Structure 1
Amino acid sequence: MKRLTTLAAAAALLATGAVAQELYAPNLAYRTGPFAATGIPLMNGQADYFTLLNERDGGIGGVKINFDECETGYSTEQGVECYEKTKARAIVTQPWSTGITLQVLPKTNVDEIPILAPGYGFSPMADGRVFQWAFNIPSSYWDGASMILNYIEQEDGDLEGKKVAFLHLDHPFGKEPLPFMEAKAEEKGFELLPIPVGLKEMQNQSAQWLQIRRERPDYVVMWGWGAMNAGAITEAVKTRYPMENFYGVWWASHDADLNLVGEDGAGYKAISWSYPNLEAPLIADLKEHVIDAGLSQTNEEEMQGVFYNRGLVISMILAEGIRAAQEEFGEAEITPTQLRWGLENLEITDARLEELGMTGMVPPFSTSCADHTGHSGGWMLEWDGEQFQKVSDHLMPETEVISALEKQAAQEYADSNAPWPVNEECNVGG
C-alpha cells in the first residue's frame, strides 16, 4: 500500500509541474591503486543496479539517482578530499575504506549526512544512539569474526587449546576484528596469533608464511583485501597449508583471487553476507536494460562472481533506504536527514527480496534507531576449484555478546571524542 502511495505522490509532483531533478548519491570509488582488482567488480555492481532503476523504473519514486563516482585509489587522504568535494549536494556518503570512514565519522555529525558502509567500517557504528549518522548494514566485522569462529567449532569441535593465526592487513580494516578475537580467545581458551601484513608486503608474504609454517596454527583466519588476498592464497598453496583450515572475511571471497590457484585452492572458505543467484530475475533485468544496452563496464565472467553481485546488494540497501524515506515523508527529493530515517527503518524480508528479484542474494534483516547494522548473518562459502559454493545454512553471529561490546566501545569512542552528540531519544528497542 505504501509503495502505491509513493507512486501517487510522484505522479502528483509531475502533474503540478514540480518535477524532481535527481538525487545525488556519490560513491567514493577505487578503480585505481593497489585494491583496484577488488574495487572494480564491486563498483560495477553498484553502478549497474542504479542504472537499472533509472532505465527501467525512471529512478526511485519518480526521481533518478545520480550515482557519481569520486576516485580515491583507496587513499584515506584522497577519500577525505572526495567527501569534502561531494558533501554539499549529497544525500549520503559511501567511503569504501575503514580508514576513510574513521576520518569522516566525526564530520558527519556536523554535516548531518549519513555514512553508508555496508559490511565494513567501525563495528561499534552499529550503536545508532552514539553513531547517529553511520550505518554498516547488514553485518559488521565483529559479526564476521563471530560466524567464522562459530562455524569452526560446529565443524571441528572445541577451540580450546588450539592455535588460530590472524593474518591481517596492517591497516584499520585489518585491525578492526582484533578486540572481538582477543575476547573470544580468552573465553574459549585458544591461542590467538596476530600476523600483520604491511601494504608493501601484500604481494610478497614469504616472511608471514614462514612464521605460519614455523608456528603450525590449527587455523588461519584472514582479514585481507586486494592484492593481499591473492598473495596469501598463493603462499598457502606453495607452503602446502591445508586449505580446508584457511578462512577469510567476506572481502577475501573474490573469485579472481582463487582462479589464480584453481583446484589447488579447493577447500578455502570465506564468510559472506551475499551470494550470487544467477537465476534471479534481477540478473535477467540487468542484462536486458543495462548490459545489452551498453550501459555497463562489466563483463559476463565478472557478473557471475561474488563481488559484482555484492555490489548489487549494496546498492539495493541504499535504494531501499531512499524508498523508505520517500514513503515516510511523501517527498521524492529527500534530504540527508530523511534518508537517515530510511536507513534506520529498513525491513528487508524474504517477501521484499522476492519483489526485488533478489531471492537468496542476501539474508533478510531489519534496522532501527538503535541498530544501524541489522546483523543479517550470512553463509560460509567454499571454493570448489572453479567457483564459490554455499556450504552452510544461514549462520548468525553472537548478537548479545557483540551488542555488549558495541555499546562499550561506542561509549568509549564518545567519551574520548567529547563533546560527542548522542541521540537520547533512541532507546534500545527503538
Structure 2
Amino acid sequence: MTRFTKMAVAAVVAGIAATSALAQELYTPNLAYRTGPFAATGIPLMNGQADYFTMLNARDGGIGGVPVNAEECETGYSTEKGVECYEKTKDRSIVTQPWSTGITLQVLPKTNVDEIPILAPGYGFSPMMDGETFQWAFNIPAGYWDAADMIIQYLEEQGDLEGKKIAFLHLDHPFGKEPLPVLEMHAENKGFELVPIPVGLKEMQNQSAQWLQIRRERPDYVVMWGWGAMNAGAITEAVKTKFPMENFLGVWWAGHDADLKIVGEDGKGYKSISWSFPNPDAPVMQDIQTHVVEPGLTQSNPEEMAGVFYSRGIIISAILGEGIRVAQEEFDTAEISPSQLRWGLENINMTEERIAELGLDGMVPPFQTSCSDHTGNSGGWMLEWDGEKFVKASELMTANVEGYADIVSAKADEYAEANQPWAVNEDCES
C-alpha cells in the first residue's frame, strides 16, 4: 500500500470515527423561555430540566451510556419564535418540547408529517391524551382537564357548589382557555355559575379592572389559570382588595413560590393543584448537589432549588429520560430514533418502586401510559401557601377522567376532521 493510499484510508477511518462521535448523543432540544414576560416562571423550570440531564451525563455518562444534549432554543414564549426553533432543531431531534400551548398548537399539525414526538408535560392541547388520534403528542403526567376536574373536586369537598359563583381569572391566550370545556360541564352539572374574567397579555401586571369586576361579582371562589407576571399581579391584587386567600386557587402553573413570597404571610391560604412536589431530601437532589452544584455547573441557587418549579423541571426531564430508557431497552439500541422514543413514551410505568429507583421519592405521583393514553392522568396534590412555602393540603387526588371522556373524544375527532388528512394509530388496541 502506498503512502498516499495509507493516508487516504486513515482519513476515511478518522472521518467515520468523527461522524460516529458526533452521532453519539441523544438530542433533546428544549424550546426555552428565559426572557420575556414569562421568564420568572420559565427560568426555574429550565434550570431544573437542565440540571437533571447535566447530573445524568456526569454521573452515568447519559442514558444507556449516551450523553443527553438538552440544548436550549430561546423563544421568549413567542409562538412565532417557537415555530422557528422547532424548524431549526427538528432534523436532529428525537423529541420537541414546545413549552407553550400556543407553540404546541402550531407544531401539532406537523407531527404526523415530521414524526417527532411532542412532549408537553402538564400543558398543551388537552385532547392530546387520546393517543390513538394524537399518536405523536404527549402531555404526561396530567393535562389541563385533569387539573380543572381536581380543582372542582376539591371545592366540592368544602361544600355543595349548587348556587355558588366561581370566577375564572385566566390569561387571554390558548393556555388560559384550555380548561373551559370541563369547567363549563361541571358548572352545568353541579349548578354553579362560572364567570370567565380574561387578562390580556398587556394587563398582566395591572389587573385593577379585573379585580374591580371580582369585587362587583362577589364570587365564592376565584380559580386562576395564570402564568408568568400574571400570577404575581393577581396575587398582589387579591391581597390589596382583601379577597379571602383560602378561596383563591390556581392551576399548577400558578403555584410559583416566588410569586407568593412577594406577599409573604398575606398570601397564606392560597392554593394550587400540582402533580409535582419539592423534596429536598430526595436522593436525586443530593446527586444534583454532588454532580452539578458543587462543580459549578448550575444556573440555579439554593432558594430556587427548594421551590416547586425547579423540582418540576427535574420531574419533566426524568419523564423524558424514562421514555428514552424504556425505548433503548425495547429496541436494544442506545441511540434511539424519534419513532422509538414515541414507543418509549407510550410504555412508561412510573410505579412507586421506579420513582424510588430514580431517587424522586415523594416528588411525583405514580402513573402509567399506553398507546391510547398519552397523559397517564397521575393526579396531584392540592398545595397551600403557609406564609413561607407551599405545603400539601390534601392527600393525592385523581381526576375523574371518565366524567369528561366524551369531551376528549369529541374534541379529538373535531381536530382530526379539521386537519384532514390526519393519520391515526390504527394499530393501537390498549
> TM-score category by the smaller chain?
over 0.9
**Are the aligned partners of 1:92 and 1:115 in contact in 2 as well (CA < 8 Å)?**
yes
AA aligned to 2:117 is P
The residue that corresponds to 2:146 in the other structure is: 143
Change (3 A) 1:218 1:58: same
Aligned to 1:171: 173
Partner secondary structure for residue 249 of structure 2: strand
1:51 maps to: 54
Aligned residue type for 1:383:
W
Q: CA deviation at 1:384?
A: 0.4
Q: Which residue of 2 aligns with 1:10?
A: none
Structure 1 counterpart of 2:427: 425
1:31 is aligned with what amino acid?
A: R
Is the Cα–Cα contact under 8 Å of residues 76 and 99 in structure 1 kept in the other structure? yes
Amino acid at match of 2:232: A
Change (3 A) 1:290 1:245: same
Instruction: Note the alpha carbon deviations across 1:388-421, whole angstroms, 9 max, x for none.
Output: 0001100001111132221111011111111111
Q: State the shift of 1:308 in Å.
A: 0.1
Report the equivalent of 1:116: 119
Larger-Rg structure: 2
Structure 1 gap segments, 5+ residues each: 1-13
Deviation at 1:18, TM superposition (A): 9.1
Give the partner amino acid of 1:145.
A
1:107 maps to 110
TM-score, normalised with respect to structure 2: 0.95
SS at match of 2:387: coil
Partner of 1:129: 132
Separation of aligned partners in 2, 1:195 and 1:355 = 44
Asked whether 1:338 is paired with 2:340, we answer yes
Output the aligned Cα RMSD.
1.2
Q: Structure 2 CA distance, aligned partners of 1:193 and 1:86? A: 41
Correspondence for 1:273? 275
2:165 is equivalent to residue 158 of structure 1: no
Distance 1:375 1:159 in 2: 24
Give the letter for the 2:111 counterpart. T
Q: Does 1:32 align with 2:29?
A: no
TM-score, length basis structure 1: 0.95
Number of aligned residues: 412
Secondary structure at the aligned position of 1:199 is classed as coil
1:64 corresponds, among 48, 63, 67, to 67
Could you tell me which amino acid in structure 2 is paired with residue 54 of structure 1? N
Output the amino acid matched with 2:103: I
Letter in 2 for 1:337: S
Q: By how many angstroms is 1:20 displaced?
A: 6.2
Q: Supply the distance in 1 between the matched residues of 2:182 and 2:418 (Cα, whole angstroms).
A: 20
**1:89-111: CA deviations, max 9, x gaps?**
00000000000000000111100
Specify the code of the residue in structure 1 equivalent to 2:397.
Answer: L
Q: Could you tell me whether the CA contact under 8 Å between 1:121 and 1:173 is conserved in 2? A: yes
What is the distance in 2 between the residues matched to 1:270 and 1:217?
18
Q: Which residue of 1 aligns with 2:212?
A: 210
Match of 2:288 among 286, 289, 300: 286
Aligned match of 1:394 in 365, 378, 396? 396
Q: 1:347 aligns with which of 349, 355, 358?
A: 349
Look up the match of 1:297.
299
CA distances 1:28-73 after superposition (whole Å, capped 9, x unpaired): 0000000000000000000000000000000000100000000000
**One-letter identity of the residue aligned with 1:158:** D
Aligned partners of 1:233 and 1:265 also within 8 Å: yes
